Structure 1
Amino acid sequence: MSQIQLLPAVQALLSQPGRLFLGGTWQDAASGRRFVVENPATECALTEVAEGDARDVDTAVDAARTAFNGEWARQSPAQRGLLLLRLAELLDQHREELAQLITLENGKPIANARGEAASAANIVRYFAGWPTKIEGSTLPVSPASGAPMLNYTLREPVGVCALIVPWNFPLTMCVWKLGPALATGCVAVLKPAEQTPLVAIRLVQLIEAAGFPPGVVNLITGLGAATGAPLAQHPGVDKIAFTGSTQVGRLIAQGATSNMKKVSLELGGKSPNIILPDADIVRAAKGAADGIFYNQGQVCTAGSRLYVHASVLDQVLEELRRHANAHVLGPGLDPSSSMGPLVSARQLSTVSGYLQRGLEEGAELICGGGRPAHLERGHFIEPSVFLDRAERACIAREEIFGPVLTVMSWTDIDELVLRANDSPYGLAAGLWTRDLRSAHRVAAQLKAGSVWINCWNVVDPASPFGGYKQSGWGREMGKNVIDAYTETKSVFVDLA
């Protein structure tokens, strides 16, 4: 088993404890405490990182507020755009080290991590174009007094933003939120997941190198209860942007009520993927396999519910078995690995529990279902496919966040749509067909924020992303996200 050599910059970052970045300075946590970051492929410690608490949150929010009211407020839109472009260039220049850090702490194959690093630069580059295009408007008002009035609107930054990001795409999720926040003139306190703080540390080092003023971006590493909770509840925070589980999203929303913060939430999913009988079955089955096995199934938009027309069920199951068995499980730094470990022992326990419950509740195991025998260490689980003829097992209803696919069959299209929509979630959905009429008709009926036809998990910084129902509030990306980080001010001028 050969693994790629770590770059000197990565080795240097791992050789010393990670620190907080508050008001433009790197410093230890106020408590002096640290926590261990683990490599999920080996279960060995990578390094230690500062464990922030409420005192550090206070410092970060104060620093952000000072920057917002000071030097950052004096930056022109064009200057903000240039800083973001400079950051995008740095992300490109340091792509390989970012990818190695992602793989080390998250576990995903290095090829996927490289794709994530490249995507991050493109996202920042997209938002670099926005600062000079955020504009108000003049409105033809008709006041009751009849006096001549000029009415115009201004778009102003919300202020201090708490950006709380997950571990499954640790770099992408940071820039999904930092991009629009900085483009609109907001300031940020970034809180990465405790499982994956290292790539966030490197990102903030690059933000510092790009020349952003002190306090514009602050970094708090730590555990959720000790850092995430006080950050979400902090009275000095004007907006929270959170990506994670629906359960935690509810707590974030509750904490925001103390001062009526603006909130955007990108939460869980149990996304239906539909194969119509006229689809290209080989292509559809591969798309369905990729839709659940990519990133070890640790994707909020994972196509974890697959509805297959009864006439092609056996063929699809055989194709799915073939794709699952073709995966090479191993450490992400081994270029031959196509599937890495789950992110933690806790996640492995959760997924393993669902596999057992699926069997107990009558689902038929098609392939996978356990730990790979050849790997003694690491949080690995086999890509698994179940057939649930009754659609009653928990694995067909609950988000698993692992490489576990539940297949159901169908015959009536109208009933199918009802079944696909019968979920508390509504993040994504997809269908495979050669019939454009069926494609557009079914897509219009699916209750999901993203619908993919003959593809899966296609995202672009210019296109809005978010969910219906318990999959979240608001939209990330595109022009829609600009609204989430700005306030609209209406100004009336009496011209009489």
Structure 2
Amino acid sequence: MASDLRPGGGTPLLIDGKLVPGSGGVFATTSPTTGERLGWAADATATDLDAAVAAARTAFDETSWSTDPALRARGIRQLRDAMLDHLDQLREITIAEAGAPRTLTAGPQLDGPVRDLGWFADLTETYSWRTDLPIAEPLGMRTARQLRREAVGVVGAITPWNFPHQINLAKLGPALAAGNTVVLKPAPDTPWCAAALGILAAEHTDIPPGVVNVVTSSDHAIGARLAADPRVDLVSFTGSTDTGKAVMASAADTVKKVLLELGGKSAFVVLDDADLRAACAMAAFSVCVHAGQGCALSTRLLVPRARYDEAVAITARTMAGIRPGDPDDPGTVCGPLISARQRERVEGYLDQARRAGGQILVGGGRPADRPDGWFVEPTLIAGLPTTSVVAREEIFGPVLVILPYDGDADAIRVANDSPYGLSGAVWGTDPDRVEAVVAGIRTGTLSVNGGTWYSVDAPFGGYKQSGIGREMGVAGFEEYLETKLVAYPA
């Protein structure tokens, strides 16, 4: 029987297998498209978080979840199937709450991550949990040794608002498959997406009480409490680098494992033998997807100085043709920013660009035909040095900075001249030159000539201040495991 995921009077928390109200009452959620109130979500307090962590601790310590791969696989597949059965409701919630363009919900905003849960269910059944090492004779003692992989324990998952389903499930799927229990704390901007997951887990799966807990809250301090709690064994956080540093500091007192997927200022490098028109058009289009609210989007376009003017003209023409629109319209790729606060942040960077002498060639303001909601025009900025704030810091809006370089070695230097190293792209014709640039750029993922790196079986993560660890793929799954060595007399 289908569950009603419509928020109504307010979505519930999921704690210890029960759907319960927040002890702090409810808080309002707002439509990024209209700026009007959408409804209400349960507002958890420290008391609710304490109960959720206690439930997760008990479920890990006292149930068979961590030692029963068959149970885990069944529960994960049941959650996937329940989400698939409720895709229409989930889609409308995602468009309304996250401002996600409808077309993206058919891919990474919803359908893709839900179906990807099956990959983690399969992995828990096929993974080699125990591996025998060759006989050894340390200190002259003939010894048989076995490597065992075991769940870490209680996972605190702290997630952002930009791709709520993808990021929630990229943490929940591998954490559960590995045998952990989870307390999920989503961003206060998108509580409904997480609450819907909790409802389906409670009503449609055999996942034991306490294994999955969902705690929505308007209080950002709840995330810090989760990171610091000594009963939590691992914190997996996705968000800004500054907040990631705070999470890392909170976790330090208990020396818990930390997984961080943080910011990016990725470079889109166009070599001088590339198809300039195709490359620049792709760079312009991609930075506008979901209003630029993606940490892995390439927001610095690096072009040969000799072709700079031509590249600027192509990029400007493409960006000028992309208009912000209603995310419910199937033709929209650039919807609203998530909140008034985020729009003010983006506009602050545009003001900085002007003060620094940057030329705003396209956009730079609010679209005249969108007086309501939190929209910003796709914006192209030229004339800034690589050392400028706008060319170095993550803006998280539909803003592209175009920068010239002199030769392949200089392109690598400029691409690496950033505290981040999350993603990027390289376009060129000569495979040897492309490979040299790919090898030289220090970043976690790279697209070559439009290749797509996003997939459930491919690890994702960054270098430098873009994070620690990987999500997705076997590498992402293994982040949620401990390694135990057992030695026996041979």
Quickly name the TM-score band, shorter chain normalised.
over 0.9
Aligned-residue offset at 1:430: 1.2
Q: Residues 150-208 of structure 1, C-alpha deviation per residue, up to 9 Å, x if partnerless?
A: 11111110010000111000110000000110101100000110000101111122222
Q: Do the aligned partners of residues 74 and 392 (structure 1) sit closer, same or farther apart at CA in structure 2, a change above 3 Å counting?
A: closer
Structure 2 match to 1:161 = 155
Q: For residue 461 of structure 1, what is the amino acid of its counterpart? A: V
Q: Does the Cα contact within 8 Å between 1:292 and 1:304 map onto a contact in 2?
A: yes
SS of 1:137's equivalent in the other structure is strand
Aligned residues of 2:49 and 2:226 also touching (Cα < 8 A): yes
Structure 2 SS opposite 1:130: helix
Q: 1:79 is matched with which residue: 54, 71, 82?
A: 71
Of residues 16, 19, 25 in structure 2, which corresponds to 1:26? 19
Residue 130 of structure 2 aligns to a residue whose secondary structure is coil
Equivalent residues of 1:52, 1:226 under 8 A apart? no
State the distance in 2 between where 1:75 and 1:101 align: 35
User: CA offset at residue 147 of structure 1?
Assistant: 2.7
- Partners in 2 of 1:114 and 1:414 — Cα distance? 39
Maintained 8 Å contact 2:343/2:376: yes
Where structure 1 has 5 or more consecutive residues not aligned to the other structure, the ranges are 1-7
- Determine which of 185, 188, 191 is the counterpart of 1:194: 188
Gaps of 5+ in 2: none
Cα displacement (A) at 1:457: 5.9
Whole-angstrom CA distance in 2 between matches of 1:465 and 1:141: 36
- With 124-133 and 439-448 compared, the bigger mean Cα shift is at 124-133
Give 1:161-240 correspondences, 5 Å limit: 161-208=155-202, 209-240=204-235
Q: Secondary structure at the match of 1:211?
A: coil
The corresponding residue for 1:147 is: 141
- Aligned-partner Cα distance in 1 for 2:35–2:155: 34
Q: Are the equivalent residues in 2 in contact too, given 1:68–1:160 (CA < 8 A)?
A: yes
2:371 is matched with which residue: 376, 394, 397?
376
Shift of 1:481: 1.6
Q: 2:138 and 2:63 mapped to 1: Cα distance?
A: 42
CA contact 1:301–1:457 (8 Å) conserved in 2:
no
Give percent identity, aligned residues only: 37
Query: CA 1:394–1:456 in structure 2 vs 1: closer, same or farther (change >3 Å)?
Result: farther
Q: Distance in 2 between matches of 1:290 and 1:191?
A: 32
Contact kept in structure 1, 2:13 and 2:216, CA below 8 Å: yes
- Counterpart Cα distance in 2 of 1:337 and 1:419: 33
Aligned residue number for residue 13 of structure 1: 6
1:242 correspondence with 2:242: no
Alpha-carbon spacing, 1:456–1:292, altered in 2? closer, same or farther (3 Å): farther
Q: After superposition, give the CA deviation of every residue in 1:375-425 in whole Å (9 maximum; x if it has no partner).
A: 111000000001125334321111101000000112221122111101111
Superposition deviation, residue 356 in structure 1: 1.1
Which of 116, 125, 139 lines up with 1:123 in the alignment?
116
Contact 1:41/1:107, CA 8 A, preserved across alignment: yes
Superposed CA offset, 1:2-60 (max 9, x none): xxxxxx977x6231211211001111223x33211100111111111122122111100
Q: TM-score, normalised by structure 2?
A: 0.95
Asked if 2 retains the 8 angstrom alpha-carbon contact of 1:57 and 1:231, the reply is yes
Does residue 114 of the first structure (1) align with residue 106 of the second (2)? Answer: yes
| Aligned positions, number | 486
Tell whether the 8 Å contact from 1:389 to 1:409 is kept in structure 2 after alignment.
Answer: no
Secondary structure of 1:166's counterpart equals coil
User: Do the aligned partners of residues 305 and 313 (structure 1) sit closer, same or farther apart at CA in structure 2, a change above 3 Å counting?
Assistant: same
Work out which of the residue numbers 80, 92, 104 in structure 1 matches 2:96: 104
In 1, are the aligned partners of 2:346 and 2:396 still within 8 Å (CA)?
yes
- Provide the secondary structure at the position in 2 that maps to 1:140: strand
CA spacing shift, 1:418–1:165, aligned 2, 3 Å: same
**Is the Cα contact below 8 Å between 1:271 and 1:426 reproduced in 2?**
yes
Q: CA deviation at 1:311?
A: 3.1
Task: Find the counterpart in structure 2 of residue 280 from structure 1.
Answer: 275
The letter of the residue matching 2:320 is N
Contact 2:103/2:331 (CA < 8 Å) preserved in 1? no
The residue type paired with residue 238 of structure 1 is D
**Could you report, residue by residue, the CA deviation over 1:456-479 in whole angstroms, capped at 9, with x for unpaired residues?**
663111111111111100111111
Q: For 1:129, give the aligned amino acid.
A: D
Q: CA deviation at 1:225?
A: 3.1
Q: Which residue type is aligned with residue 317 of structure 1?
A: V
Q: Paired residue for 1:263?
A: 258
* 2:314 maps to 1:319: yes
Q: Distance in 1 between matches of 2:137 and 2:48?
A: 49
Q: Decide whether the 8 Å contact of 1:291 with 1:456 is kept in 2.
A: no
Q: Offset at 1:349? A: 0.1
Q: Shift of residue 317 of structure 1?
A: 2.0
How far apart, in 2, do the equivalents of 1:273 and 1:473 lie?
23
Change (3 A) 1:147 1:394: closer
| Worse-matched range after superposition: 275-284 or 214-223 | 275-284
* Cα separation, 1, equivalents of 2:64 and 2:370: 51
* Range with bigger deviation, 327-336 or 420-429: 327-336
Given residue 351 of structure 1, which amino acid in structure 2 is its aligned partner? V
| Cα-to-partner distance string for 1:330-354 (whole Å, 9 max, x where unaligned) | 2212334332110001100000011
Greater shift, 128-137 or 467-476, is seen at 128-137
The answer to whether the 8 Å contact 1:95/1:114 transfers is: no
Asked if the contact 2:98–2:162 (Cα under 8 Å) also holds between the matched residues in 1, the reply is yes
Match of 1:467 among 448, 462, 465: 462
Which amino acid counterpart does residue 91 of structure 1 have in structure 2?
M
Task: Call closer, same or farther: CA 1:91–1:286 in 2, change over 3 Å.
Answer: farther
Q: Secondary structure at the match of 1:171?
A: helix
In 1: Cα distance, 2:9 partner to 2:376 partner: 31
1:332 aligns with 2:327: yes
Question: 1:115-152 CA deviation, whole Å, 9 max, x = no partner?
Answer: 22111123211111111214221123534442322111
Trace 1:36-51 onto structure 2 (pairs within 5 A).
Answer: 36-51=28-43
Shift of the 129–360 alpha-carbon distance from structure 1 to 2, 3 Å rule, reads same
Contact 1:352-1:370 at 8 Å conserved across structures: yes
| Cα deviation 1:238-277 (Å, max 9, x = unaligned) | 0000000000000100111121111100000111111112
Moved more, 304-313 or 346-355: 304-313
CA distance in structure 2 between the aligned counterparts of 1:72 and 1:220, rounded to whole angstroms: 24
Shift of 1:357: 0.9
Q: Distance in 2 between matches of 1:51 and 1:127?
A: 31
Maintained 8 Å contact 1:72/1:216: no
Computed over aligned residues only, the root mean square deviation of the Cα atoms, in angstroms, reads 1.7
- Contact map agreement 1:220 1:227 (CA 8 A) in 2: no
- Give the aligned residue type for 2:445: S
3-state DSSP of counterpart to 1:370: coil
Given that residues 109 and 334 in structure 1 are in contact (C-alpha distance below 8 angstroms), is that contact kept between their aligned partners in structure 2?
yes
**Does the Cα contact within 8 Å between 1:301 and 1:428 map onto a contact in 2?**
yes
